[in-house]
């Protein structure tokens, strides 16, 4: 709880962390609940963390704080982020673009943007002013050039026992 900054908030729960999560809706904001799930993920030994930002109405700074925490706490885990924010998508190592619930394309954003007919490129073209488009392309390019994590090997997936959903 200390790592995610919710020690005092959890202390007021009748049974602390043992309080059933269905009671969290009444006590905590959506941002706090997501941090609680992150804290629970810390106690497990999982290799994959899923962060759902697509279904939340949060400020970009709250998302940034959450993602920085995830990166700090789980540096060696695979992190799957569901998001519609193009700035966040452009900084990803890999992007899976869905269209009508089906996979439309997959790869590094910068490489996908090299194809003028790609779905991701179409999203960028619809993003707004050309300055924003240039900024998004620059984020993708920097992410591609300065990639941090090595690619996951297929055989490493066998060791995954379960997945945390935040």
Task: State the pLDDT at residue 137.
Answer: 92
| Domain range for 100 | 94-147
Q: Is residue 133 part of a domain?
A: yes
Q: Is residue 114 part of a domain?
A: yes
Average pLDDT per consecutive 10 residues, the chain (166 residues; last block may be shorter): 64 69 72 78 82 71 79 85 84 90 93 95 88 90 75 36 41
Edge-to-edge order in the sheet of strand 163-165: 78-82, 48-52, 163-165
- Please indicate, yes or no, if residue 81 is contained in any of the structural domains: no
The pTM assigned to this predicted structure is: 0.68
Q: What is the pLDDT of residue 111?
A: 95
pLDDT at residue 55, rounded to an integer: 63
In a domain, 55, yes or no: no
131, part of any domain = yes
83 in a domain, yes or no?
no
Q: Into how many domains does the chain fold?
A: 1
Q: Is residue 87 part of a domain?
A: no
pLDDT of residue 89: 86
- pLDDT attached to residue 105: 95
Residue 13 in 3-state DSSP? coil
With respect to residue 7, please indicate whether it lies within any of the assigned structural domains: no
Measure Cα distances from 142 to 51, 83, 92, 137, 138 in Å.
Answer: 23, 20, 10, 9, 6
DSSP string, 60-103: HHHHHHHHHHHHHH-TTSEEEEE---HHHHHTSS-EEEEETTEE
């Amino acid at each position: 709880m200390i790592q995610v900054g919710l020690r005092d908030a959890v202390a007021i729960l009748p049974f602390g962390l043992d309080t059933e999560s269905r009671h969290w809706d009444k006590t905590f904001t959506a941002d706090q609940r997501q941090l609680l799930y992150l804290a629970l993920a810390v106690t497990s030994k999982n290799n994959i963390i899923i962060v759902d930002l697509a279904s939340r109405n949060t400020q970009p700074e709250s998302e940034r704080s959450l993602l920085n925490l995830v990166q700090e706490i789980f540096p060696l885990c695979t992190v799957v982020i569901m998001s519609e924010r193009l700035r966040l998508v452009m900084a990803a190592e890999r992007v899976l673009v869905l269209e009508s619930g089906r996979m439309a394309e997959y790869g590094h954003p910068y490489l996908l943007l090299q194809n003028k007919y790609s779905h991701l490129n179409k999203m960028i073209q619809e993003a707004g002013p050309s300055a924003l488009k240039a900024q998004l392309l620059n984020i993708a390019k920097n992410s591609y050039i300065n990639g941090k994590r090595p690619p996951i090997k297929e055989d490493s997936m066998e060791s995954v026992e379960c997945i945390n959903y935040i």
